[in-house]
Amino acid sequence: MTPRPQDRRHRKDMQPQTAQNIRYGQEMASRPEHPAGAELGRVVDFLAEICIEIDTSLEPNTPNPHLNMILHLLRSHIEGRLVSASSMVAAAGVPYATAMRKLGDIQSAGLVEQRPRTKTGKSFSLHPSPDLLDRFNQLADRIDRIASAAFGAEGPGREAKDYYFGGSYVPGQALIPPPHALPRPLKLPGGLRILVHGDPTFMVMENLKRQFEQIIGTDIRQRAFSIDRLREEALRNATRSKSQYDLIAVDLPWLGEFVEKGLVRSLPEIMDVDRLDPSDFHTAGWRAAHWHGVPYGVPSQTTPELMFYRRDWFAREGLEPPSTTDAVIDAARRFHDPRNGRYGVAWNAARGTALGHTFIMTCAAFGQPVIDLPRIAGGYDADTLDGRDFRPMLDTDRAHAAADYLMQLMEFSPPDILSMSWYERVRPYAAGRIAMAYGYTLLAPYFELDETCPAHGNTGYLPHPHGPDGVPIAPVGGYVLCVPANLAEDRLPDAVEALIAFTSPAAQKLYAQNGSRTAPRYSVGSDPEVRRLSPIFELVDQMSWRDELQFWPRPPIPQISDIIRICGHELHDMLRGLVSPRDALARAQSRAEDIMRQPVT
């Protein structure tokens, strides 16, 4: 489950453009002034500037047409601009005939690929080959290190590491090159159509639209909705004779419902799943994409909910990071100072979906799954949910302890806590008014990318603090990209190719370099350039290896959305003091049992 956008003013707090200009249910056109490229783009610019300085400062001098054309090709690829043979020749800096020969040289060397732009194939565009991107990526890393050593310009957080020809000695630390253009442009009339959630990661994808259009060779039309409206639109789309979308983003807890209702296709039915390199995905995120042991989607985001806390505040007070719920209450009491506009903790307490998620994840922190899942080593079994009868577990001793914890949090929360949801809980934290906040990693750009935020550089990250019968867990949120079951057959092959391209390690690295703080793949989280962007990537990898990333707190049974909504309404009345915790949980249990008895249609 990922956050719901509320209004435009929330986007203004993010730097640079990770989630700006979200428009409910509309296609978005905002693009960054300087599209992705990050490390490689920086080195391309550096080499281009050096070449210009040398060419204009030293006489006599001979241009290097091979390098000039390669730099032009790479810069255009990074910026999403199509390149023709004539533009390559113009960039060579030598006479036409010489430039054509040099262009032939780099094509013969396998550094440039041609892609037809028309059915006849007489018109074509030029693109960097995977080999060129890989070679230049390694070169860029070496140049970056040489420049840093020569001029003392090491970037923030950069650590000296042993390396050999651009690769670290540390296993799994290889640099991922940028995504390369598909050999054949996708043939999708009207362009590729995608239905997504309006969160920062998908907005990064929108900001990179021009570059991905060049990669896949067709227009991209992306529609973004708030969380509840996204589900409604996906269900509405399933009633159409043919899907209006080639790919749809499915929140992890919805998967069982969407499969049981026949809304999405299984991956083995439409593709060779090995092309995705499944072992590279975080285990919990990949398992959550399955139903009845079959994968139905590809992780596009794996974003655990964590506890954000102000390291500098805790250090000043001599407090340890709050690893338990008791420690959260003690710390919140210590920092809560309403007269000076400071509060202990922020969390999702808004009525409905937001609070419902908070409650079932808090139950998990107290060791209580929302349904009677069988216990297994490391937690509870959420892998085999289909065809079984489950009973809600909302009126148990541990669920009551979770509800009591939320009641205690109320005392040390901001005055508008009962209307706080996804973004509202993180914005005051970023602004320096909150000591601790529950939040998904994808919300971290609010303060990680804004150096003016008091929380910038002062934030620590923890799994959910646990109760007496719980253990440290980081409930996995995020989305999988799925292919609608009613997608026209003639669009299916190219939709699969787009699915692979958008979820590849190269694409995921690009999202991270442009503001995303989600990384579904181990290879992306261990990429040195990605790790320098935020401590989140390494921490999430560590949590995954420690088996703390878990998806059982929100088991994807077909009724989970209704159960979440029930909890969000009944518990909201409890927090407002209209009913007692005992009555609220009893009512939630009864309503959830009624839902579980109804057939899935």
> Does residue 326 carry a pLDDT above 50?
yes
**Which CATH number characterizes residue 119's domain?**
1.10.10.10
E strands, 73-121, in order: 112-116
Banded model confidence at residue 367, pLDDT cuts 50, 70, 90: very high
Are residues 66 and 124 part of one domain? yes
Q: pLDDT digits over 478-498, tens only? A: 999 999 999 999 999 999 999
Are 237 and 333 found together in one domain?
no
**Which tokens sit at 519?**
């990384």
Based on the fold, state whether residues 401 and 469 are members of the same structural domain: yes
CA–CA distance, 483 with 67 (Å, rounded to integer): 42
Q: How many helices (H) and strands (E) does the chain have?
A: 24, 19
Top pLDDT among 143 and 413 is at 413
Residue at a domain's end among 112, 146, 168: 168
Tokens found for residue 185: 């442009």
CA distance 481 to 484: 10
Q: What is the mean pLDDT of the segment spanning 157-184?
A: 58
Q: Annotate 266-308 with DSSP letters as a single string.
A: -HHHHS-GGGG-GGGB-HHHHHTTEETTEE--EES--EEEEEE
Q: DSSP per residue over 421-482, as a string?
A: -TTTTTHHHHTT-EEEEEEEGGGTHHHHS-TTSTTTT-EEEESBPB-TT---BEEEE-EEEE
User: What does the alpha-carbon distance between residue 66 and residue 63 come to, in Å, rounded to a whole number?
Assistant: 9
Quickly state the pLDDT bin for 219 (edges 50, 70, 90).
very high
- Do 354 and 436 lie in one domain? The reply is yes
Q: SS3 of 313, please?
A: helix
DSSP β-bridge partners for residue 337: 342
pLDDT of the residue at 39: 67
Query: 431-457: string of b/e by CB count within 10 Å (b at 16+)?
Result: bbbbbbbbbbbbbbbbbbbbeebbbbe
* Structural domain includes residue 521: yes
Work out the average pLDDT over 404-410: 98
Domain end residue (candidates: 147, 168, 189): 168
CB 429 within 8 A of CB 344: no
| Residue 540 pLDDT greater than 50, yes or no | yes
Q: Which helix (H) or strand (E) segment is 127 a member of?
A: strand 124-128
At how many degrees (to 10) do helices 397-411 and 325-335 cross?
10
506 phi and psi, to 5 degrees?
Answer: -65, -40
DSSP string, 17-51: STT-S--TTSB-----SS-S-HHHHHHHHHHHHHH
The verdict on residue 28 lying in a domain is no
Q: Return d(Cα 233, Cα 43) in angstroms, integer.
A: 43
312 and 287: one domain? no
pLDDT band for position 69 (cuts 50, 70, 90): confident
32 located within any domain: no
**Contact (CB, 8 A) for 418 and 328:** no
Alpha-carbon gap, residue 66 to 103, rounded angstroms: 7
Which tokens is 514 given? 């442009």
Contact of 325 with 404, CB cutoff 8 Å: no
Residue 9 in this model has a pLDDT that exceeds 80: no
Whether residues 496 and 564 share a domain: the answer is no
Same domain as 195, residue 50:
no
Structure confidence at residue 251 as a pLDDT band (50, 70, 90): very high
Residue 85, pLDDT > 80, answer: yes
- Predicted confidence band at 275 (pLDDT cuts at 50, 70, 90)? very high
Where are the alpha helices (H) located in 264-423, listed in sequence order? 267-270, 283-287, 311-317, 325-335, 353-365, 397-411
Q: Which of 381, 389, 386, 372 is nearest to 291 (CA)?
A: 386
Q: Which whole number is the average pLDDT over 307-336?
A: 97
Q: Residue 590: how many CB atoms within 10 A of its CB? A: 14
Residue 35 predicted with pLDDT over 50: no
SS3 assignment, position 67: helix
Q: Is the pLDDT of residue 436 over 50?
A: yes
What confidence tier does 203 reach under pLDDT thresholds 50, 70, 90? Answer: confident
The predicted model gives 57-72 an average pLDDT of 82
Please report whether residue 385 resides in a domain.
yes
Asked which of 105-109, 160-164, 261-265, 425-429 is least confident by mean pLDDT, the reply is 160-164
Query: Is 30 domain-assigned?
Result: no
C-beta of residue 296 within 8 angstroms of C-beta of residue 259:
yes
Helix, strand, coil shares, percent, the chain, to 5: 45, 15, 40
How sure is the predictor about 427, in pLDDT bands with cuts at 50, 70 and 90? very high
| 245: in domain | yes
Identify the pLDDT of residue 120. Answer: 66
> Looking at residues 74-99, what average pLDDT do you find?
83
pLDDT over 60 at 31, yes or no? no
Q: Which residue has the tokens 């409905």?
A: 352
Domain span at residue 292 reads 8-20+179-302+477-545
Which of 168, 196, 214 represents a domain boundary (last residue)? 168
C-alpha–C-alpha distance, residues 21 and 8, integer Å: 7
Query: pLDDT higher for 402 or 8?
Result: 402
Same domain, 295 and 308: no
Residue 3 lies in a domain: no
User: Is 60 exceeded by the pLDDT of residue 124?
Assistant: yes
On whether the CB atoms of residues 192 and 20 are closer than 8 A, the answer is no
Q: Calculate ∠ Cα 263-265-268, nearest 5°.
A: 160
Give how far Cα 414 sits from Cα of 113, 280, 352, 410, Å: 57, 41, 19, 8
Q: How many CB atoms lie within 10 A of CB 350?
A: 23
Our count of domains for the chain comes to 3
Q: Residue 152: what pLDDT?
A: 62
Out of 97-101, 390-394, 521-525, which region has the weakest mean confidence (pLDDT)?
A: 97-101
Give percent above pLDDT 70 in the chain. Answer: 89
223 Rama sector, left if φ>0, alpha if ψ -120 to 50, beta otherwise: beta
Distance CA(454)–CA(276), nearest Å, equals: 40
The amino acid present at 326, given as its one-letter code, is D
> In the predicted model, is pLDDT for residue 573 greater than 70?
yes
Are 90 and 83 a contacting pair, CB within 8 Å? no
Whether residues 191 and 316 fall in one domain? no
Question: Mean pLDDT over all residues of the chain?
Answer: 86
- Give dist(CA 41, CA 30) in Å, integer: 21
pLDDT of 289 reads 95
Among 355, 400, 396, residue whose Cα is nearest residue 567: 355
pLDDT band at 601 (very low <50, low <70, confident <90, very high): confident
Q: What is the CATH number of the domain that holds 461?
A: 3.40.190.10
Q: Which residue has the tokens 């090995």?
A: 274
Same domain as 247, residue 102: no
pTM of the model: 0.77
Q: 17-31, 87-101, 232-246: which range is least confident on average?
A: 17-31
What distance lies between CA 422 and its chain's CA centroid? 15
Contact at 8 Å (CB) between 481 and 289? Answer: no
The predicted pLDDT at position 26 comes to 32
> Phi, psi (5° rounding) for residue 449?
-100, 0
First vs last C-alpha separation in the chain: 22
If pLDDT is split at 50, 70 and 90, which confidence band does 38 have?
low
Cβ 543 vs Cβ 474: under 8 Å: yes
Mean pLDDT of 529-549: 91
Q: Tell me, yes or no, whether 44 lies in a domain.
A: yes
Note whether 155 and 103 are same-domain residues.
Answer: yes
If residue 163 lies in a helix (H) or strand (E), which one and from where to where?
A: strand 163-164
- Whether 364 has a pLDDT exceeding 90, the answer reads yes
Closest CA to 98 of 74, 122, 54, 65: 65
Task: Say whether both 362 and 454 belong to one domain.
Answer: yes
Q: How far apart are the C-alpha atoms of 505 and 513, rounded to whole Å?
A: 12
Indicate if the pLDDT at residue 159 is higher than 50.
Answer: no
Whether the predicted pLDDT of 18 surpasses 80: no
Residue where the block lists tokens 């009339």: 189
- Assign 116 a pLDDT band (cuts: 50, 70, 90): confident
